[in-house]
Chain A
Amino acid sequence: QKEVEQDPGPLSVPEGAIVSLNCTYSNSAFQYFMWYRQYSRKGPELLMYTYSSGNKEDGRFTAQVDKSSKYISLFIRDSQPSDSATYLCAMRTNFGNEKLTFGTGTRLTIIP
């Protein structure tokens, strides 16, 4: 079993829809949770960063962390064609090195 599970998709939604992306994890030591966006043949770009449980909002993006359920989510409101990319969840513990453990990524397409 992988430490971080993420549905690879692909996921296609119409422009303007709300997108929900999710990851589950098994390691209860994870304390930092991140969402990265990766365009084709590019490096990942940090979208959202959350420490421990709770919600965080940044413009059209909202990240939620539920540590009791070991479940994290990213919501994208008013989705745009430019949001079409692969979305990777990543997490790490609060000790040791800076190792990030990633999900496999969800490929998202926003249809105009």
Chain B
Amino acid sequence: ETGVTQSPTHLIKTRGQQVTLRCSSQSGHNTVSWYQQALGQGPQFIFQYYREEENGRGNFPPRFSGLQFPNYSSELNVNALELDDSALYLCVMKGGEGETQYFGPGTRLLVL
């Protein structure tokens, strides 16, 4: 168990809608990253937050946005959903000593 939780576990949306995915941790991880994993592919880096500020972004359009809260929980928001946004969205937490990054179980999003 990594102590990282994500909600919801599954979600179905239609094209053009907006979605908010959530991530939280039992420990005080001060760095959170989000990844998109399409079927049969490795995870792709979306962005990272450190102490509530975005400090790195992958090759994703601005309709992917995020927040990190003072309690280190985080949200990923996706606007104007497209069919290709269907994927497993993974939250990753890191903090304290060591280099280990802890993955949550993911939210599986299906866009119809």
A binds B: yes
Identify the A interface with B (CB < 8 A).
Answer: 4, 6, 8, 32, 36, 41-46, 49, 51, 88, 90, 96-105
Residues of A within 8 A of B104 (CB): 43
- A-B contact number at CB 8 A: 66
Contact of B58 among A6, A49, A99, A103 (CB under 8 A): A99
The reply to whether B103 and A44 contact each other, CB–CB distance below 8 Å, is yes
Interface residues of B in 64-94 (CB under 8 A from A): 88, 90, 92, 94
Judged by a CB distance under 8 angstroms, whether B108 is at the interface is yes
Residues of B within 8 A of A8 (CB): 40
Contact of A104 among B42, B50, B55 (CB under 8 A): B42
Identify the B interface with A (CB < 8 A).
Answer: 2, 31, 33, 35, 40-45, 48, 50, 55-56, 58, 88, 90, 92, 94, 99-106, 108
A-B contacts, 20 of them at CB < 8 A, read A4-B42, A6-B42, A41-B108, A42-B105, A42-B106, A43-B103, A44-B90, A46-B100, A49-B99, A88-B43, A90-B42, A98-B33, A98-B48, A99-B33, A99-B45, A99-B48, A102-B42, A102-B43, A104-B40, A105-B42
The reply to whether B45 and A100 contact each other, CB–CB distance below 8 Å, is yes
The reply to whether B56 and A100 contact each other, CB–CB distance below 8 Å, is no
Enumerate the 5 nearest inter-chain pairs by beta-carbon distance, A residue then B residue, closest first.
A97-B56, A102-B42, A43-B103, A43-B105, A99-B45
Q: How far is B104's CA from A8's CA once the two chains are assembled, in angstroms?
A: 23
* Smallest CB gap from B107: residue in A: A43
Residues of B within 8 A of A90 (CB): 42
Contact of A103 among B42, B55, B106, B108 (CB under 8 A): B42
Contact of B43 among A42, A44, A96 (CB under 8 A): A44
The reply to whether B100 and A88 contact each other, CB–CB distance below 8 Å, is no
Q: How far is B90's CA from A49's CA once the two chains are assembled, in angstroms?
A: 19
